[in-house]
Amino acid sequence: MAQTPKISRIEAVVNLASGGSTAQDVEQMRGLLAAHGAHANVQVAENGGEIERRLRSAVDAAPDLLVVLAGDGTARAAADMAGPQGPMIAPLAGGTMNMLPHAVYGAVPWQEALKGILEDGEERAIGGGLVEGRSFLVAAILGAPALWAPAREAVREGQFRLAFARMRRAWGRAFSGRLRYSLDGGPRGKAEALAFLCPLASSALPNEAQSLEAAVIDPQTMAEAARIGFNALVDDWRNDPAVSAGPCRQARIWAASRVPAVLDGEPVTLAASASVDWRPQVARLLAPREEKAD
């Protein structure tokens, strides 16, 4: 059985602008790390403009462990900065969706997750995707349906007027420009959108899978587009009959104009031609110990 890694120096970054962390969390973080007995430094990002500087300072300190209490986008940035040769990272649930922390540690309070891995965690490599130089560790959605993601976040936050405005924008872009794609060098196809899920986020792939899950989203009518949009707000859109999915290591995407996308919950705009690639080792996680079958 692998030993729990020796951790004597810890850097922690708490992002108060992520929508799920408070000043009380900062004090609890300091207390938990002090109780562990490691030399720990806790940095706080008061707004989104500070987070990159705080993360860079933490990585450059070369700790044994970088703890991040923030959302999925900040966790992705920390993984990119640390890389496979840098400090282990512990992405804790301090955002709104928290897809990556919940996939790694389960849907538990961050305090419980942190205590567990400090007492009995193990190092684990995490893979992900890369598109136009940007990593994603959870999921990427490319195409007009990506515009439903901001609407979903507004619904989660109870901002229904904003959600309605975003839904109208998403509806207006539906069928405005289909994507052309090729998966793993296969034949070209057309679709309204594509989504790529990493193993930690995919219910169809095991955690140790060496590929992404590619989902082709191809509604044929406005009614089907509306159904997928509704499922994006309240359910798992992958279960929609207009969506087909399978493993993929590399994809090419073409469009008539720039492509709206969401990478780990962060809206971005991609070029009209882009590639999506599987990366087997983005960073090192401090994760719960996996139980081995007898």
Task: Give the CATH number of the domain where residue 115 resides.
Answer: 3.40.50.10330
**145 φ, ψ (degrees, to nearest 5):** -60, -15
Is 45 inside a domain boundary?
yes
Residue among 3, 66, 84, 73 at smallest CA distance from 282: 84
Is 270 inside a domain boundary?
no
Is 269 inside a domain boundary?
no
Residue 170 shares a structural domain with residue 65: no
Residue 123 shares a structural domain with residue 195: no
What is the rounded distance in angstroms from the CA atom of residue 96 to the CA atom of residue 45? Answer: 16
What is the rounded distance in angstroms from the CA atom of residue 259 to the CA atom of residue 262? Answer: 10
Considering 119-123, 195-199, 243-247, the range whose residues carry the highest mean pLDDT is 119-123
Whole-structure pTM value: 0.78
pLDDT-based confidence at residue 236 (cuts at 50, 70, 90): low
Q: Is the dihedral of CA 240, 214, 153, 281 positive or negative?
A: positive
Q: Which domain holds residue 180?
A: 139-263
Residue 77 shares a structural domain with residue 181: no
Residue 152 shares a structural domain with residue 258: yes
- The number of distinct structural domains making up the chain is 2
Tokens of 283: 């960073």
Q: How many other CB atoms are found less than 10 A from the CB of residue 290?
A: 11
Q: Cβ contacts of residue 223 below 8 Å, gap of 6+? A: none
Q: Please tell me the predicted confidence (pLDDT) of residue 227.
A: 47
What average pLDDT score do residues 74-93 get?
94
Considering 70-79, 175-184, 203-212, 238-247, the range whose residues carry the highest mean pLDDT is 70-79
> What are residue 171's DSSP bridge partners?
none
Residue 234 shares a structural domain with residue 150: yes
Is 118 inside a domain boundary?
yes
Residue 187 shares a structural domain with residue 152: yes
Tell me which of 266 and 142 has the higher pLDDT.
Answer: 142
Is 2 inside a domain boundary?
no
Residue 100 shares a structural domain with residue 165: no
What is the rounded distance in angstroms from the CA atom of residue 229 to the CA atom of residue 124? Answer: 35
Site of tokens 């070209």: 188
- pLDDT at 170 exceeding the cut of 90: no
Considering 158-172, 179-193, 216-230, 241-255, the range whose residues carry the highest mean pLDDT is 179-193
pLDDT-based confidence at residue 294 (cuts at 50, 70, 90): very low
Tokens of 288: 């719960």
Is 105 inside a domain boundary?
yes
Considering 168-172, 197-201, 236-240, the range whose residues carry the highest mean pLDDT is 197-201
User: For all residues of the chain together, what is the average pLDDT?
Assistant: 81
- pLDDT at 128 exceeding the cut of 60: yes
Tokens of 120: 């009995």
Residue 151 shares a structural domain with residue 217: yes
Contacts for 241-247 with beta carbons within 8 Å, 24 or more apart?
Answer: 242/217, 242/218, 243/215, 243/216, 243/217, 243/218, 244/215, 244/216, 244/218, 245/204, 245/213, 245/214, 245/215, 245/216, 246/183, 246/213, 246/214, 247/205, 247/209, 247/211, 247/212, 247/213, 247/214
Residue 105 shares a structural domain with residue 152: no
What average pLDDT score do residues 41-68 get?
94
Q: CB-based burial of residue 248 (10 Å sphere; 0-12 exposed, 13-18 middle, 19+ buried)?
A: buried
**19 φ, ψ (degrees, to nearest 5):** 95, -5
